[in-house]
Structure 1
């Protein structure tokens, strides 16, 4: 029995010893000894009660991989409560996206210009801090829709986009943002990636991670639209750990 694994599972689910004791009906003192490693081989019934309370299998206490990541369990719970028609639609979207991703790999290549912004403060990137990379990507419907890429070298856009993500954008000055679309905009020499929301005549540009106050866009010319987000790109020459480390 791996007591460190129990700690990891408790932390992942936000459980304290007191909370786990309440749910499992196991005394706090007993749990403390198990979790600290003082009790190296607790009984089966005790461990079974802990596993039931943590909604996991006994195998996981031995360090075996988790069948379903805990952060997905809440989505599964919500999914089960949806009407059948909505469940079918979600399954359709997942299948569609999976098929799209598996077909993006091709033997034909193309070159795209990728921008990296080195000076980023509170989610705003200084336009003049740009570095330019010419990168090679697979030629497919997704990359063909891109006019430029942006290499995210910060964790400020998490959880939507993680550090070292490469985002594809389509530039077209004639396009107007639609409700829910993600765009890069330029304002007073600073760049910002956010999502547009429309409510009647009001248009808001919202931060992806909530670090920047909502921006009321009363005039589209107030914030120059640089490009509409198309999707994340697979650019191994940038995103592999070795390449990213060499760039730092």
Structure 2
């Protein structure tokens, strides 16, 4: 069996894909990509979430699907926590599991509140922008039409959640909305926009900047700036030799190891 058998396993467990998404916290679109073979390596975090939603341990889930995943690399602190957990009796493990479930639920609610708030802020920005454009005096519109071509608008996909310039942003917790931009401000080849979260790319990009990028362009050269997904987190960084580089000297380069899951989402072409 393979990842495409998740749907069959869900039926056996009497769990619909909608319920699987709700319980696991993994977006339904991500689950569909896994089932359809678009996503071949969903990452250990996603595997754990799906296994928990199906009332299976990660080992049972992997064995049933015959995934053949490599054992994840654990840090010394991770190994210490695992060792402590294994030393507990059944009562102690139930206590720890209960606390973990409570904390996971709290964190999911927190992330959902962040997403809802961000969507509301984006919608307010979009409405304010469109309202301002509609209420401009006729002579001002004519001025832009002749001199700056601001009258022509381009609709781009605005990716919520942002690209982390510091801490990464959960790549699964995003949505797309359509936002219009003046055509003369959009770089050639740009098809998506994404906000910057954090200060690790200063002075090039600041927290709150909106970046134009070419989604799907993964042909980056050393020194190019791109949108990356590293171990499930979205980042904006400069591509280096086996590392992702921040422009703010306070942040060290992020080394890319053989066990890391990394992909290039697209090349950054400019900012708003």
Q: Is the TM-score greater than 0.5?
A: no
TM-score by length of 2: 0.39
TM-score (norm 1): 0.42
Structure with larger Rg? 1
Structure 1 or 2: more strand by fraction: 1
Q: By percentage of residues, which structure has more helix?
A: 2
